[in-house]
Structure 1
Amino acid sequence: MNVLHVHTRSVGGGGAQVVSDLHSRLNKRTNINSKLVVKEKGDEQDDVVEMKGGFLDRGFTHLIERKAGLEGFGSFDSLKLPSLIRDHNTDIVHLHNIHGYYFNIFILRHIPDQVNLLWTFHDMWPITGNCTYAMGCERYQTRCGSCPQLDEYPELPFDTTPLLHRIKMRLFNQDIPVVTPSRWLGRHVAESRLNKPNIRYIPNGVDTEKFSPVDKCEARDIFDIGTDDFVLSFIASNPGDPRKGSKYVIEALNSVSQNHDVTLLTLGSEGFPNEMLNDSIDVRIPGYIPDEKVPYAYAAGDVCIVPSLADNCPLVPLEAMACGTPVIAFDVGGLSEQVTEGTGWLVPPHDTQALRDAILTAIERFPDSKMNNAARKRVVEKYEITQCVTQYQDLYNKILK
């Protein structure tokens, strides 16, 4: 069985990690040959194919998508896809994220009839005019327009969302099986104008051997944090993204720090506005750390805070819980499914006071080995990476029957 995955990139962010992990683990299984095709790949990924155009293509893409507002129309990069499909003798093309200024959506019409398609939706882009998360807007259920998110990725210079939505619904309504990693996203797909009666739910998975409890004292030594400190970890690939909710972390911690000593450990790319925190808060920003040390960052925290305003099936809470670290999260999207009673706290989105109260509850309760164990058990039972890969393998077999 030959499977060809298509995604924006193979490194950087949770989506890239999900797709790369699936690709590499499928290749370790019998009778499966997986290939990953991306716009951007890592430096040492010889088994990943980069579908990247030259200077003229990038210029044309910029003109059509960034200036004319036709996201998904301009790139010639994906014109290479049919030949890559033939070269790989592909049985199944597994689409992932195809937004990101590299994929011409009309290429879907030129995939050979004998090749099966499968599409995992990692966000809401396939069902909206352009946005990756509707953020409460319901216009995608009809025709889009009057878009409130023109300045958000993928940016539009003016409102072309009615046109984009109409074309996407026509193109994407062909017979392509759809997988959503959260039941939340599945419900939104069902409410959309896409005719997808059979939506398969396969949650993202994490490696529970890599992400497992480690000695907290050893973990804190790495980041020069005191053994008795209360530590809150905030981990995001782009902490400065407003959707990640750092604003609410800052407001809640500034309130908590008036009566309690708190250490904040942040991990991810630059962008966390720590200058807005009270001086009494001990902030640790270690910058880049090697992959094998990431579990120690989770273990160093008493609790991991995930105040995302919208998300599908993010890896950060799952990785934290696999390391035995409970999670405080906004009650939105797939987070509502991941964090259950006894594994952490869900609070209403945008509610700084509720977030503060959850942090105060955590301070009063910790250490709490019962909650630590429950958090890990939740991930081992429901979100283990091998389960995820097996479910995809079973789905591939079903598609090819």
Structure 2
Amino acid sequence: MKIVHISTYHTFGGAAIAALRLHHALRSIGVKSSVLVQETERQEEGVQGVANSFIGKKLAFARFATERAYFVLHEKDKSVRFHFSPLWAGVDISKHPLVREADVIHLHWINFGFLSLYSLEQLFALGKPVVWTMHDMSTFTGGCHYSRECERYLSHCQHCPYLCRPSDNDLSFRVFEQKQKLFKNAPLTLVSPSQWLAGLAQRAALTKHLTSFAIPNPINTNVFKPSSAKKDLGLTPTKKWILFAGVNTQDPRKGFAYFKEATQLLSDRREEWGIVVFGKTEPEALADLGLEVKSLGSLPAHEVVNVYQAADVMVVPSLEDNYPNTVIEAMACGTPVVGFDSGGIAEQIEHLQTGYVAKLYSSEDLAKGIRFVLEDADYEQIAQKNLHVIYQRNRYETVAKQYLAVYKKLVTNN
């Protein structure tokens, strides 16, 4: 059986990383898996890019720029520019050899000028089983990646809060109408890493007629595993370190403001605790956090593992998220996680067993969760519980076998 995974990016972003890990997981159990991306970022067996030539790369960028320019005409403001995908520009990959040879086409995150609604139509027309792993809500909305508090996708998208001129017939309405026609008889099965998102897809007007269920993202437990690495990172070994991974202080959805309020409530532990962050951020954003801050900047993937291993607790204060890779990466290193009760995060963390699930929008409860892990919990027990959960739920073999069972059933019934 041959599987082709379709993903906009090779290694950039959580969705791309999850797709690539699934590809590796399937290969580890003998499945003939390949990945087709917009443009490869490195040479890797089984991964091919559509834009290989100089001209191809220019055309790929032109598709991205064209779609973003199109959305600029509709956007409410700059803050939502990359949070809405109309699937307006894309390339037809239906004749690509990897697609033609595949028994199952597996879509992942395909936005930003890689695939358009027309591209999807051409893929569906092949009549092959198509699995779509949803890494956000955009599959079943009129374009937004996360709906925030809007629930119009349950009936029909319109009057979209992301748009400058919301109306009965706005961009979200038109995209929704196009998707409705496209999905009506599509050979499509939906998968989400979280029960939360799978449940939304089962209720959404666009996808409630389709099969939708959850399979968690995989993690390589031979790479992400416990180790003591504080000295390697220049962290004071006598301190306990609170990790905020992939800092994004500009996106309100990531909840950095709540993290900042929570750490200010922990200032009484300034001598004993510190904060370690990695990722791009402005230095002023890290001021007034109440504790010493060690910023490691952008790190290559192999060094990120050391940070998880060195941290004593990781905080994920996202206000809306599907199934962050960072949570299972930390857990696989034995590091407990504190996060809000939002999206799929509450499914990843077992409250008081592997970490702490805080009340949504409560900086006080977020701080309470950090204190629980660092002061009150049996730390060794909670660390071991993390390793047990990851081994049972997220390791490569476990997840790959679940997907293989889906593929076999679809091919048999096709």
Q: State the 1:290 CA deviation.
A: 3.7
CA distance in 2, matches of 1:255, 1:86: 54
Aligned partner (choices 210, 214, 236) of residue 227 of structure 2: 214
Alignment of 1:103-252 (within 5 A): 103-111=115-123, 112-150=125-163, 159-173=170-184, 174-193=186-205, 194-215=207-228, 219-236=229-246, 238=248, 240-252=250-262
How much does 1:274 deviate? 3.6
Looking at structure 1, the residues matched to 87 and 316 of structure 2 have their Cα atoms a distance apart, in angstroms, of: 34
- 2:79 aligns with none
Residue 34 to residue 398, structure 1, CA distance change in 2 (3 Å): same
- Give the secondary structure class of the aligned counterpart of 2:94: helix
Bigger drift between 238-247 and 126-135 goes to: 238-247
Secondary structure in 2 matching 1:99: coil
Cα displacement string for residues 91-146 of structure 1 (whole angstroms, at most 9, x for unaligned residues): 11111112222211122222353422111111100111111111121111112222
> Are residue 310 (structure 1) and residue 295 (structure 2) matched?
no
Alignment of 1:386 onto 2:389: no
Distance 1:331 1:71, change over 3 A: closer
CA contact (8 A) 1:240 1:273 kept: no
Structure 1: unaligned runs, 5 residues or longer: 152-157
Q: 1:87 to 1:322 in 2, by over 3 A?
A: closer
Among 339, 349, 354, which residue is 1:339 paired with? 349
Matched, 1:101 2:116: no
What is aligned with 2:48? 49
Over residues 363-400 of structure 1, what are the superposed CA-to-partner deviations in whole Å (9 max), with x where a residue is unaligned? Answer: 32367211111122111111222211111112111111
Aligned-pair CA distance for 1:252 = 1.1
Secondary structure at the residue paired with 2:321? Answer: coil
243-252 or 109-118, which deviates more: 109-118
Cα 1:44–1:58 change in 2 (3 A) is closer
Is 2:24 the counterpart of 1:24? yes
* Cα shift at 1:73: 4.5
RMSD (CA atoms): 2.5
TM (normalized to structure 2)? 0.86
> Structure 2: how far apart are the matches of 1:86 and 1:56?
21
Task: Give the percent of matched residue pairs that are identical in Structure 1 and Structure 2.
Answer: 27
Counterparts of 1:74-85 in structure 2, within 5 Å, are 74-76=88-90, 78-79=91-92, 81-85=93-97
| TM-score, normalised relative to structure 1 | 0.88
Q: In the TM superposition, what is the alpha-carbon distance from 1:330 to its structure 2 partner?
A: 0.3
Aligned residue pair count: 388
> CA-to-partner distance for each residue in 1:250-281, whole Å, 9 max, x for gaps?
11112211454331111223457544324x62
Letter in 1 for 2:349: V
Residue 311 of structure 2 is matched in structure 1 by 301
Distance 1:270 1:243 in 2: 16
Contact kept, 8 Å, 1:223 with 1:284, in 2: the verdict is no
Contact 2:262–2:363 (CA under 8 A) maintained in structure 1: yes
Distance in 1 between residues matched to 2:25 and 2:374, nearest whole Å: 39
Change in Cα spacing, 1:109 to 1:166, as seen in structure 2 (3 Å) is same
Taking the aligned partners of 2:64 and 2:236, their CA distance within structure 1 comes to: 51
Partner of 1:371: 382
More deviation, 50-59/165-174: 50-59
Is the Cα contact below 8 Å between 2:319 and 2:360 reproduced in 1? Answer: yes
Asked if the contact 2:243/2:315 (under 8 Å) is kept, the reply is yes
- Does the Cα contact within 8 Å between 2:87 and 2:112 map onto a contact in 1? no
1:35 matches 2:21: no
